[in-house]
Amino acid sequence: MLNDLKQQPADALLALIKLHNNDPRADKIDLGVGVYKTADGDTPVFAAIKAAEKKLVEEQDSKAYLGPEGDMGFVEKLMPYVFGKANPTMGGRIEGMQTPGGTGSLRLALAMVKRAGYKRVIVGKPSWPNHNQICADLGLEVLEFNHATGAGADMDALRGAIATAQEGDAILLHGCCHNPTGIDYTNAEWDEIAGLLAASTILPVLDLAYQGLGQGMEEDAYGLRRVLASVPEALICYSCDKNFGLYRDRVGALYAMVADPADLAKVMSNGHSLARANWSQPPDHGGAAVRVIFEDEALTAQWLAELDEMRERMRGVRAKLQTAGKTGGVDLTPVGSQNGLFSIIPFTPEQVQAMRSEYGIYFAASGRINVAGLTDGNIDQFIAAVAAVTA
């Protein structure tokens, strides 16, 4: 029977990594892989994480099972950063569990959506490709709306999607640092979105994968908190992979908010049973390291300072692209007002190929670039290549 399985297409990002690695040119540029890079092109381990890991090695006294909910100390100490320090549990309406990265959180959230009887998920287009892939694997229908137009969010498309939503629909929204466009909703737009969702029967699924990489930890949580203050229930997917540099350690969390605190145990029991059937329990090490950071004021301050440095470097890159302005046949100005790791440059497929073959600059076929791959040493090279291939 295994021979009846159909060959699946290779992952486009993995293929891009291979192409870049096989390119012998010394001045090649990798703008494809979605990880932060320093001005030297490295993806380092946070110093705060190193210190937390050292404490774990010295003090951790067991590797016994924790259960499908994972490290609840990590889950609870993360909550004030996500939901605000004043009342992070929203009066006993919010509880969470650890997951294997943001992807595990999304998989669990959408499986709960399916189990609860929802049939369809409204998703902006373009979105992170795994959003639609997970929905498809779970048998959830996807209704797409246009996420952005020009340099800003396409609010008319979002209004239309919400207005035509049906009973049994959920909506998946990026909390900040939209992947792949970098185009976020403004605070005023989030205010409107919260009102529209409050007047609907739609279940919000909020994906907060890049908190702190846009405008700041508090600023990046505005939209999520505004929606949660307006709706009776929601699912919140969180990733520490980017803002703690824990990519391969897979550190995430899923939170559920319910209308009645009496329902919270029932809802979380479904999260636990789904997790048990998928991965049994999440890997412990990365979540434990984050918990250790939150338990130590000095380590927390060190982590936040490192995060500030990451964000400011990427904002500096964006500012340089914005200053470049009209470059060949494209305008790089909008990149300066966008957030996070990613932006989409409107290249044609032929221009994407020319950037690779003629200039050794690698990024996704969609035109999505990882701005963290640009440095003082290569940004002028990138801008010149853009001008040449789009002229």
Active site residue 249: no
Which candidate in 37, 128, 154, 249 is catalytic? 128
Active site residue 30: no
Which candidate in 30, 71, 184, 207 is catalytic? 207
From residue 298, give the alpha-carbon distance in Å to each of 51, 90, 287: 11, 28, 18
Pairing of strands 330-331, 326-327: antiparallel
Active site residue 207: yes
Which candidate in 220, 242, 249, 320 is catalytic? 242
Catalytic residue positions, numbered: 128, 207, 242
